[in-house]
Amino acid sequence: MQNKHIPMRMCIGCGKMNHKDNLIRIVKTSNTKAPITVDINGKMPGRGAYLCRDTICLKNIRKTKRLSRIFSCSIPDDFYAILEKEINQNG
Ligand SMILES: [Zn+2]
């Protein structure tokens, strides 16, 4: 698999390009009860945003309420806990 191509995406926390494999995809779905979710397999439909698997980037988007602005909805504290868990699992 020498020629495996890994697409690059921009992290919403630090604004740097990173390999898709190193990023968590956050997606807004049509589920009105819990519209914002972590897309584990990177295949869910809907508007997506990418975040490095890095607690610094997570703290940054939490502080700046970046997700609220991107998805035009409020982000529950629970969701940041989910993201943190996801980062720690793979870090
Ligand atoms: Zn980042």
Task: For residue 91, give the DSSP letter.
Answer: -
Determine the structural domain holding residue 33 and report its residue range. Answer: 8-90
Residue-level pLDDT at 41: 86
> What is the per-residue pLDDT across 13-72, written as a single tens digit (0 to 9) for each?
999 999 999 999 999 998 888 899 999 888 899 999 999 999 999 999 999 999 999 999
| Cα of 26 from ligand 1 centre, angstroms | 13
* Residue 20 belongs to some domain of the structure: yes
* Residue 2 belongs to some domain of the structure: no
What CATH code is carried by the domain that includes residue 41?
Answer: 3.30.1230.10
* Residue 3 belongs to some domain of the structure: no
How many structural domains comprise the chain? 1
Residue-level pLDDT at 89: 86
CA distance 83 to 63: 14
Residue 3: alpha-carbon gap to chain centroid = 26
Which helix or strand (DSSP H or E) is residue 9 part of? strand 8-10
- Residues by chain with Cβ below 5 Å of ion ligand 1: 11, 13-14, 52, 57
Task: For residue 5, give the DSSP letter.
Answer: -
Residue-level pLDDT at 32: 84
- pTM of the entire structure? 0.89
* Residue 72 belongs to some domain of the structure: yes
| Cα of 51 from ligand 1 centre, angstroms | 6
